[in-house]
Amino acid sequence: MNDIGQVLVLGLVSGGIYGLFALGIVLVYRGTGALNFAQGEIGTFGLYAAWYVDTRLGLPWIAGAVAAIGVAILLGLAFEAAIVRSMVEASRVTVAVATVGLLLFLLAVETRYFGGASPRPIEHPIKASGVELFGIVVSPTQILALVLAAAVGVGFTVLLRRTDFGLGVLAAAQDPVAVRLVGVRLRRVSAFVWGAGAAVSALGALFIAPTVGFVTPGYATVLFLSGLAAAVVGGLNSLPGAFAGGIVIGLVEATTGRVFVDSSLPDVRFLAVFLVILAVLLLRPQGLLRAIGTGAGAKA
C-alpha cells in the first residue's frame, strides 16, 4: 500500500511538471501546426540565467525566476521574429527543422560557454520543510509546481476558447494568410504563441530544478520529451488532455521506476516513455483522452 502511495505521489509531482511542458507543446501546436523541438532547451537556457542571477549576482530566488522566464520569452520572440516570420508559407516539417536548428544551437552554446561537465547548482524557492506522504517528503516547491501547472492549463484553455485573441491563435494555425484578411494581428498571435510556449518551459524547468539540484546542457529537453509523450497521450490538440497526459506519464515513470528498481536495465523510464508513445500512436493516435475542439489536429 505504501508502495502504491509512493508511486502516486511521485507520479503526481513529476506529472505536474510534464503537464506544464505538454501545455506549452500543445499551445504551439494549436497555434502554428508545428512542434517546437527547442522548447525544452529554451527552458534550460532560462535556468542558466536563473543560476547566474542567483549564484553569481547573489539575488533572491524570485529575481532568478524572473530572469529565467524573461530570457526564455526573449529567446522565443527572437526566434519567431528572425526565423519563423520569414517562413509563413512553409510546411510544418520545415518549421520543425528550423526548431531543430535552434535546439542544436542552444545545446552547443551551453556546452561551449557553461562548461559541459560542471553542473550549476539551483536552489529551492521555498525553504520551508515539506509534507510527508507515504514516506516521501513532498517539498512545497513541488506542490506549488502542480498548482501552477493546473493554473496554466486552465488559463490557456480559457484564453483559446473564450477570447477573441485565442480564436485568432487557433485560426492562424489553419491559414496564416487568411487570418490577416479578417483583421487578426498575425504578428501578435505568432509572438504570443512562441513566447508563451517558451515561458511555460522555463517555468517547468524552474520548478523541477531545485529537486534535482543542478542544471546541465540538455537538462530541460529530457523533461520536454516526457511533456511530448504527455501531449501525444492526451491528443496533440487538447490542452486538458495535455495536463492529464502529464499525470499519466508521471505515473508511468514512477511505476516503472519502482518496478524495475533492481533490474540491470538502467533508467527504464525513458524506455517506458518511448514505448508509451509507440503504443498510443499505434492504437489510438488521437490520444487516449478525448480531444476537445479540433484545432490543427486532423493532420498533425
Q: Which residues bind other proteins (CB under 8 A)?
A: 34-35, 37, 79, 82-84, 86-87, 90-94, 96-98, 100-105, 107-109, 111-112, 218, 222, 225, 228-229, 232, 264-271, 273-275, 277-279, 281-282, 285, 294, 299-300
The alpha-helical segments, DSSP class H, found in 126-267 are: 140-162, 164-174, 176-181, 186-212, 219-234, 239-259
Looking at the Cβ atoms of 140 and 293, the one nearer to other proteins is: 293
Least distance (Å) between residue 27 CB and other proteins: 16
Looking at the Cβ atoms of 168 and 297, the one nearer to other proteins is: 297
Q: Which amino acid is at 129?
A: S
Classify residue 143 by burial, with Cβ atoms within 10 Å: 0-12, 13-18, 19+. middle
Looking at the Cβ atoms of 141 and 226, the one nearer to other proteins is: 226
3-state class (DSSP) for residue 138? strand
- What cell numbers appear for 101 in the block? 536548428
Least distance (Å) between residue 293 CB and other proteins: 10
DSSP 82-112: HTGGGGTT--HHHHHHHHHHHHHHHHHHHHH
For 137, other C-beta atoms within 10 Å of its C-beta total: 11
Looking at the Cβ atoms of 92 and 180, the one nearer to other proteins is: 92
Least distance (Å) between residue 23 CB and other proteins: 16
For 151, other C-beta atoms within 10 Å of its C-beta total: 11
Whole-number Å distance between alpha carbons of 204 and 20: 6
Least distance (Å) between residue 235 CB and other proteins: 12
Whole-number Å distance between alpha carbons of 218 and 223: 9
Looking at the Cβ atoms of 163 and 294, the one nearer to other proteins is: 294
Least distance (Å) between residue 109 CB and other proteins: 6
Least distance (Å) between residue 264 CB and other proteins: 6
Looking at the Cβ atoms of 61 and 224, the one nearer to other proteins is: 224
